[in-house]
Structure 1
Amino acid sequence: MKKIKEIIVVEGKDDTAKVKQAVEADTIESNGSAINKETIEQIRHAKEKRGVIIFTDPDAPGERIRAIISEAVPGCKHAFLPKDQARSKFDKGLGIEHATIEAIQDALVSVYELTEKTGTEITKSDLIAYGLLGGARAGYRRDRLGELLNIGKTNGKQLLKRLNMFHISKQEFEQTMEVLIQEEKDE
């Protein structure tokens, strides 16, 4: 079982239990969106000592928690789980606790550090040229690109910022878009 050096921030006890089935790691639970000052301080301390990976559910509350922590504790790493890999087979549940061990391991291997980068090679024109802004399939393409790059789901406004923050190179972006386009042709 792979050992993770950083402390993983999850939303609750069920997430902790599932992560510990997949990897050897310590966790901090945010207790959902009721994240308080004490938890933020605990995360800040963990980041200074060992580093932190934020691993929240792929839904609106999970993204809100991720944003709160990222703003309060800059420099955390991020792991993303695509929605289709976080759905319960038995009910309408969505979350890390419903993912397979393999999906969690894959997400934790593809960790990104959010940092501001200036002079990125990817432009809004690139997004338009690849049909990621405007158009009938733009939403699908953004979602699929987020899955393939492990950067999470974004809307049109967020996509360029997230590509820049994760330091996705223009070459990696173009190669991933070619994969996506080929998938569409094969449908």
Structure 2
Amino acid sequence: MIKEVIVVEGKDDTVAIKRAVDADTIETNGSAIGKDVLARIKLANERRGIIIFTDPDHAGERIRKIVANAAPGCKHAFLPQEKAYYKGDIGIENASPEAIRQALSELRTETDAIQGEITLEDLMSVGLLVHPSAAERRLELGKLLGIGYANGKQFYKRCSSFNITKEEFYAAVDQLGYRLEEHE
């Protein structure tokens, strides 16, 4: 049994989670999260902790931000889009039990870090910003670091808030071969 309560978007996500692990869930019922649902999430976070596990799409990221703002210090699980894709639909409900268990084994905890180790210069030096392949690089590096895909500004924020170290960052960069010649 997973101690924390897993916050998901809907009933189909709950079914997928329960196929993979023994856990309790709270459903946000999409991006129109009501006050009563946020109150339940806050209470669950205080009593047991929560894991935010939303779909790897724009709506899921919006829900993740709303819930994370309401429940500071929560944990995050990220699922790559290709593991959540089925017949044109992206969602946790499409993921295999193995993919769900994998995502839940690589949790990240958000902190209130004002300045993490990773700088904008680090992101620039490996082509994560202002580079023709920046979005693709952030997608792949986000998978390796377990922080999901994000635009440049959000990727920088996630590196800080999830306390990604320079060692961890550059090990992943090296694994993907993303160092740019002019910065080596």
- Percent identical residues: 53
Are 1:39 and 2:41 an aligned pair?
no
Q: Secondary structure at the match of 1:28?
A: strand
CA distance in structure 2 between the aligned counterparts of 1:154 and 1:49, rounded to whole angstroms: 30
Structure 1 residue 112 displacement after superposition = 0.9
Pairwise CA distance, 1:118: 3.7
Superimposed CA distance per residue, residues 110-156 of structure 1 (whole angstroms, 9 cap, x where no aligned partner): 11111121442211111111111111111111110111111011111
TM-score normalised per structure 1:
0.92
| Distance in 2, Cα, partners of 1:120 & 1:153 | 18
TM-score (norm 2): 0.94
Structure 2 unaligned residues grouped into runs of 5+: 179-184
CA RMSD of aligned residues (A): 1.1
Aligned with residue 169 of structure 1, among 165, 168, 172: 165
Is residue 2:64 matched to residue 1:66?
yes
Q: Secondary structure at the match of 2:177?
A: helix
Partners of 2:52 and 2:114 lie apart in 1 by 24
Match of 2:182 in 1: none
CA distance in 1, matches of 2:19, 2:34: 27
1:125 aligns with 2:146: no
Which of 124, 139, 142 does residue 146 from structure 1 map onto? Answer: 142
Deviation larger for 148-157 or 117-126: 117-126
Instruction: Provide the residue aligned with 2:48 in structure 1.
Output: 50
Letter of the aligned partner of 2:101 in structure 1? Answer: Q
For residue 17 of structure 1, what is the amino acid of its counterpart? V
User: What is the rounded CA distance, in whole Å, between the counterparts of 2:131 and 2:66 in structure 1?
Assistant: 32
CA contact (8 A) 2:51 2:75 kept: yes
User: Would the aligned equivalents of 2:77 and 2:103 in 1 still touch at CA under 8 Å?
Assistant: yes
Does the aligned pair in 1 maintain the 2:78–2:147 contact within 8 Å? Answer: yes
